[in-house]
Structure 1
Amino acid sequence: MLKKSILYFILPTVLLSADLSREVTTELSPSPKLAAALDSLISTPLLRHAHIGAAVYSQKSNTSVYSFNADKSFLPASTMKLFTTAVALQTLGEDFTFQTQVYLHGKSKDGCFTGDLVVKGDGDPTLTWYEGRSDSTSFNRLAAQLKAQGIKKIQGRLIGDDNVFDEQALGWGWGWENELYSYSAPIGGLSVNQNCLGVLVTPAKAVGERCNVRLIPAVRRALIDNRCVTVSDTASAHFQVFRTRGSERITLEGQFPIKHPGDQRTVTVLNPTLHTVDVLRCALTASGIEVDCDIFDIDELYGFHYASYAPFFIHESAPLADIVWEINKNSNNLAAESLLKTLGYELYGRGTAESGVAAIESWCRKNGIPMEGVSLVDGSGLSRKSYLTPDSFIKLLYVMRADSAFYCSLPISGKDGTLSHRLGDATCRGRVHAKTGTLEGVYALSGYIDAVNGEEWIFSLSINQAPSSRARIYDLMNRFCMMLIKTEVQ
């Protein structure tokens, strides 16, 4: 049975004078017609087996105007990122940056450096990100600086230090079946290229031969099991890539016609730290520096310390405002999880998800955001153990409306991000600024709507346990937004 809901609309108020206007409070009048329309929409047979919650709030009057199961708990999917990014901006500041430092300890003679090169991570999820996800521009700058010091060869050890974060590489409640995919990339205190590896496959020169495989970048740690064959032009192309759980073994299966241009896939790596120093080795070699080094995670070197070393090279990330833009516009899970652990490290000295969650919960309580029915375990919403309520989203969005970095990070209907292909008609385009969320059976949308009547609505819509197709659910959610956009004062 549907819970009773009601929607109010702002009515014009006659102001007797400019002085008196400060004392006039906006009166609201119910609109049963629209309330009934929204109730009818979310009670459609399409959702008869689903768990649904919705809330609409007037930004101008600071008043709740529609509520349906708004105090109930829902899986938020990627709308969880609204909480992570909001608290990060408010706590760390939009100008906060990550700093990845490189240390040298050893001796140089005749152009050869012998010793340790240590890369110390700061939790930056964007290393090489802004320069291009498949290259290593940041490391190329390091190579240039080494060459400027006359270093032509490095022999010894390349060491990665990821200890700013704990060793929990995957979020609590993440599905093991997703580990292969980039949206479930492992979390690390030292990361590069989104902790993913490109796999490019092209046909060989003769039918029956194994296809050619190229890793991007050409790291050494990955083990390739190539079962992909070249076939005649009359055959179809198909291709799959797998990484064996708990290993760096990558298996390729499929076939490519001999004249096919080939295809590229992305696969996650097992160990972000070792992958990062492996990518560094590739970048140094490509720059012309000879590298005769083994690679290590600092945890493998018992008793190794370098606190007294001076940093040789520092890479500074883009400011937090830019990182939040990427997280919310394009729903970047790795960046959101890194931000969660960074909150824990910066506030409590512990780079763990638990400490990050504690930071979010503390900020929410201080800002009056209702936490009843809320349970948080990750920063991206990929977990099925995090729960939020529409009411908690409404309050968060109300508190954050004045934060321009937060508002500008939200996808815009018909224009960019995950809303670029939704609500793009002339009336709706550009009027919805909201974060999307999608998991299997889970759909969510929370943000702001600029109505044609001049009102700005804050809204949150959550649908869980929805067995219907994604396209049909998206259409229903779009219609929910359209009703609010096109509503006229009655």
Structure 2
Amino acid sequence: MNVHWKRIEELINLEPKLEGALIGVSIRSRKTGQILYEHLGNTRLHPASNMKIFTCAVGLEVLGEEYAFPTELWIDGDIVGQRLEGNLYIKGKGDPTLLDKDFEQLAIIIKEKGIQEISGNIIGDDTWYDSIRLSQDLNWNDEHYYYGAQVSALTASPNEDYDSGTVMLTISPGKSEGDTPEIVLTPKTKYIKVLNNATTLETNHEEEEADIMVTREHGSNIVVVEGTIPKYSASINEWVAVWEPTEYALEIFCRSLKKNGISYSGEVKTGKTPKDATQLFVRKSMSLAELSVPFMKLSNNGHGEIIVKELGKIKNGIGSWDSGLEVLNKTLEKLGVDTSKLVIRDGSGISHVTLIPPNVISDFLFRIQEKKWFDSFYRSLPVAGEADRMIGGTLHERMFGLNVHAKTGTIMGVSTLSGYLTTDEGEELIFSIMLNNLLDEEEGPEIIDRLVEFIIKESKTIFS
């Protein structure tokens, strides 16, 4: 080992916060793939959201950069005058980017087709995927957070972060001490019921921050808001995952129908589109290459799980986690990964069971550089110190001034970072740093960043 690489070893061994923890490090030449340094490089560790590196790459490999998720409108009756004598179906096929305005546009299109009255039912069809909403290792206490949202083939997002299956709550302080804060929902929906138990706090401390907790009662859409918000505080945004996102999307769709003067006399329910139905319209999402940006930059768990289910549906005809993970593993094998040495349980990395060695991650990052879709993949990675969230992503406040394009990862006790960097001497490297068994995962990024900065700044001595 080069004497200067030993200094990294010393940094690791002397870091008190790593006592009792595991740290895996793998550093390669980006040009040749040769391992320059490793520490527990072949030890299987929890990757957290570094798992998304594999999901994104396999999605681009199997589905393609131009792949789009369609949402379809179908009818099973005749249009007589301005009346549809039959049912209207909205069939989802995995699109996580549907916003309130997109449901509005679908309603306008129905009106443009000459339909102003529907005698039958409004039916939401989510059968493109199976009915299992949560991945197998998701912690029960994560299910109401945006990062633990349920997966459905028909879903909706509140804004252009595309956290599908969630509602955004904008919470503003009341006018006087003791007042309940004002809460505005995006999108405007009656699908959830908010119990506002929070309080406006009078304070003279300018640095006093809001202390708000938002939870959803299990098995329901009763959302409880508790805590305090200072009287002069700016508004804060909180996200909550809904229970049963298909019905959530259907509620937004039906509200858009009514807003555009389209009435219906039947029920609003979920169901399956008949084989003999007539297609009215198809809306397509942005391309997978474009979707990879919010997926990877913002580390969107829902996108990772949707991609897995889509892989299973397209290749095996079954939109399930088991089917999708089978496709993911087979594709990784074709891309040079020995999956017999890995444990992969989901597409997002929220699993505490998934295990991947850092050498495997760095080797994969080396191998995929020759793929035609690599530019789209590389563009999706967070960029250190870039303030624009759709460029810097989860690295937008880290490692300012350093040339690092890498995927972050955080779950309880785990902090990871894997990607590409350029040293001060112009050497291009691939790296994977994985911290496991931390007492506080929030301390992990600081440790990782110090290691990365050392590699970049001390490159002259390391490579001399």
1:186 paired with 2:150, answer: yes
The answer (yes or no) to whether the contact 2:79–2:115 under 8 Å persists in 1 is yes
1:328 paired with 2:296, answer: yes
Please report how far the alpha carbon of residue 178 of structure 1 lies from its aligned counterpart in structure 2 after TM superposition.
1.1
Please report how far the alpha carbon of residue 245 of structure 1 lies from its aligned counterpart in structure 2 after TM superposition.
0.4
Match of 1:162 among 100, 117, 126: 126
In 2 relative to 1, CA 230–288 (structure 1 residues): closer, same or farther, beyond 3 Å? farther
**Structure 2 CA distance for aligned equivalents of residues 435 and 183 of structure 1:** 16
Please report how far the alpha carbon of residue 386 of structure 1 lies from its aligned counterpart in structure 2 after TM superposition.
0.9
- Superposition RMSD on alpha carbons, in Å? 2.6
In 2 relative to 1, CA 328–155 (structure 1 residues): closer, same or farther, beyond 3 Å? same
- Structure 1: stretches of 5+ with no match in the other structure: 1-5, 7-30, 129-135, 299-303
Partner letter of residue 270 of structure 1? W
Match of 2:90 in 1: 119
1:423 paired with 2:391, answer: no
Could you tell which deviates more after superposition, 83-92 or 54-63? Answer: 54-63
Please report how far the alpha carbon of residue 51 of structure 1 lies from its aligned counterpart in structure 2 after TM superposition.
1.0
1:222 paired with 2:195, answer: no
1:389 paired with 2:389, answer: no
Could you tell which deviates more after superposition, 393-402 or 105-114? Answer: 105-114
What's the CA shift string for 1:224-279, capped at 9, x where partnerless? Answer: 43445678899997543321101122223356688877654321111011111111
Match of 1:36 in 2: 6
Specify the SS of the correspondent of 2:213: strand
Please report how far the alpha carbon of residue 214 of structure 1 lies from its aligned counterpart in structure 2 after TM superposition.
4.4
Please report how far the alpha carbon of residue 76 of structure 1 lies from its aligned counterpart in structure 2 after TM superposition.
0.6
Q: Equivalences for 1:44-55 in 2 at 5 Å? A: 44-55=15-26
Match of 1:246 among 214, 219, 222: 219
Please report how far the alpha carbon of residue 314 of structure 1 lies from its aligned counterpart in structure 2 after TM superposition.
0.9
Please report how far the alpha carbon of residue 107 of structure 1 lies from its aligned counterpart in structure 2 after TM superposition.
4.2
Match of 1:173 in 2: 137
In 2 relative to 1, CA 233–148 (structure 1 residues): closer, same or farther, beyond 3 Å? farther
Match of 1:376 in 2: 344
**Structure 2 CA distance for aligned equivalents of residues 257 and 45 of structure 1:** 37
What's the CA shift string for 1:326-362, capped at 9, x where partnerless? Answer: 2111101101110011111111111111122111211
**Structure 2 CA distance for aligned equivalents of residues 197 and 444 of structure 1:** 29
- Normalization by structure 1: what TM-score? 0.83
Partner letter of residue 288 of structure 2? L
The answer (yes or no) to whether the contact 1:172–1:385 under 8 Å persists in 2 is no
The answer (yes or no) to whether the contact 1:448–1:456 under 8 Å persists in 2 is yes
Specify the SS of the correspondent of 1:156: coil
Equivalences, count: 443
**Structure 1 CA distance for aligned equivalents of residues 177 and 128 of structure 2:** 50
**Structure 1 CA distance for aligned equivalents of residues 435 and 323 of structure 2:** 29
Please report how far the alpha carbon of residue 161 of structure 1 lies from its aligned counterpart in structure 2 after TM superposition.
1.2
The answer (yes or no) to whether the contact 2:89–2:273 under 8 Å persists in 1 is no
What's the CA shift string for 1:391-438, capped at 9, x where partnerless? Answer: 21012101112311111111111121111111113xx1xx11110001
In 2 relative to 1, CA 259–107 (structure 1 residues): closer, same or farther, beyond 3 Å? farther
1:453 paired with 2:431, answer: no
Q: Equivalences for 1:55-454 in 2 at 5 Å? A: 55-109=26-80, 111-128=82-99, 136-193=100-157, 194-200=164-170, 213-228=183-198, 239-254=212-227, 263-298=236-271, 305-402=273-370, 403-415=374-386, 416-425=392-401, 428=402, 431-454=403-426
The answer (yes or no) to whether the contact 2:25–2:41 under 8 Å persists in 1 is yes
**Structure 1 CA distance for aligned equivalents of residues 338 and 250 of structure 2:** 44
Please report how far the alpha carbon of residue 110 of structure 1 lies from its aligned counterpart in structure 2 after TM superposition.
5.4
Of all paired residues, the percent bearing the same amino acid is 30
In 2 relative to 1, CA 225–350 (structure 1 residues): closer, same or farther, beyond 3 Å? same
The answer (yes or no) to whether the contact 2:194–2:224 under 8 Å persists in 1 is yes
The answer (yes or no) to whether the contact 1:449–1:484 under 8 Å persists in 2 is no
Partner letter of residue 358 of structure 1? E
**Structure 1 CA distance for aligned equivalents of residues 375 and 79 of structure 2:** 49
The answer (yes or no) to whether the contact 1:77–1:439 under 8 Å persists in 2 is yes
The answer (yes or no) to whether the contact 2:46–2:353 under 8 Å persists in 1 is yes
Specify the SS of the correspondent of 1:267: strand
In 2 relative to 1, CA 312–483 (structure 1 residues): closer, same or farther, beyond 3 Å? same
The answer (yes or no) to whether the contact 2:214–2:240 under 8 Å persists in 1 is yes
Partner letter of residue 253 of structure 2? L
Match of 1:467 in 2: 439
In 2 relative to 1, CA 40–121 (structure 1 residues): closer, same or farther, beyond 3 Å? same
**Structure 2 CA distance for aligned equivalents of residues 323 and 124 of structure 1:** 10
In 2 relative to 1, CA 178–305 (structure 1 residues): closer, same or farther, beyond 3 Å? closer
In 2 relative to 1, CA 208–310 (structure 1 residues): closer, same or farther, beyond 3 Å? same
**Structure 2 CA distance for aligned equivalents of residues 386 and 435 of structure 1:** 17
What's the CA shift string for 1:86-123, capped at 9, x where partnerless? Answer: 11111111111111101122344553434311111111
**Structure 1 CA distance for aligned equivalents of residues 182 and 246 of structure 2:** 28
Please report how far the alpha carbon of residue 483 of structure 1 lies from its aligned counterpart in structure 2 after TM superposition.
2.4
Structure with the greater alpha carbon radius of gyration: 1
In 2 relative to 1, CA 58–242 (structure 1 residues): closer, same or farther, beyond 3 Å? same
The answer (yes or no) to whether the contact 2:134–2:151 under 8 Å persists in 1 is yes
In 2 relative to 1, CA 283–234 (structure 1 residues): closer, same or farther, beyond 3 Å? farther
